[in-house]
Amino acid sequence: MASSLSLSSHTVASLFPSHTSKPQLSLSKSIPILTKSTQSQFHGLKFSHSSSLSIPRFSTFKTSISAKVNKGTVPPAFTLKDQDGKNVSLSKFKGKPVVVYFYPADETPGCTKQACAFRDSYEKFKKAGAEVIGISVDSAESHKNFAKKYRLPFTLLSDEGNKVRKEWGVPSDLFGTLPGRQTYVLDKKGVVQLIYNNQFQPEKHIDETLKILQSL
C-alpha cells in the first residue's frame, strides 16, 4: 500500500531561462511514497497512510537559513526538563566541554543509531571531560522510555514547542518537514567550537565531535 505526497498545482517553467524553450512540467499529480507498515519512519520523519504532506511552493520555500548560533559565539541559555522530569540548565555545565545534539525524534531509525553511537563512545567523551546532551521535541516521558530501552547514559532534554531549536537556529530538511540533525561542541567557556550537520549519516556526528574535543 502507498501513501501519497500531494503537491499543489504549480508549474516550474520559471526555473528555466526565459530565452530557452522548455515544456512546462505540471506538478498536479501525487507522488507515491511506499511504506512497509501502517506507519513508517524515515530518519525521524513519520509517514502514515491516512495523512499527506504538502510541499510548499518554490516561490515561498527558503533554500538557505541563517543560523543564529555560529562558531565562536556563545549560544542562548536554556532550561529544559530531562528524562526524569528535572529542570536542567545549560549553565550547569559551564567549566567543562559540552556536546549538544539536536535530533528529530525518539525511536526513529536514524535517531536510535545516533543515540546508541553516543552511548557506545560515552567513555571516550567522559575521558575528554565532556558532557553529552540530546535535545528533541519529545516529552520527558518519551525520553525516559527511549533512554531506558537503549541504556543511554547521558541527558535527554525535552524541547516542547521547539523553542530552543528555533533560538539556536537549527535548520530543517526536506522542505521544512524534517527537523534538522545538528550537533554543537562548546568549550569550557561555553563558546561554540564546532557545528556539524548531517541528517542521513547520524553516526558521523560522534566521530566529528570526538575529533574536536581531542583538540580542545
Look up 116 and say whether it is catalytic: no
Residue 182 DSSP SS3: strand
Q: Among 92, 95, 66, 71, which Cα is nearest to 166's? A: 66
- Catalytic one among 111, 115, 137, 164? 111
- CB crowding 146-184: b at 16 or more within 10 Å, else e: bbeeeebebbbbbbeeeebbeebbbbbbeeeebbbbbbb
Cell 510541499 locates to: 55
**Would you report the helix, strand and coil content of the chain in percent, each value rounded to 5?**
25, 25, 50
The secondary structure of residue 146, as a DSSP letter, is H
User: Long-range contact list for 60-63, CB < 8 A, 24+ apart?
Assistant: 61/175, 61/176
- Answer whether 119's CB lies under 8 Å from 58's CB: no
Cα R_g (the chain), whole angstroms: 20
Non-local (6+) Cβ contacts of 42 within 8 A are 108, 109, 110
The residues carrying an active-site annotation are: 111
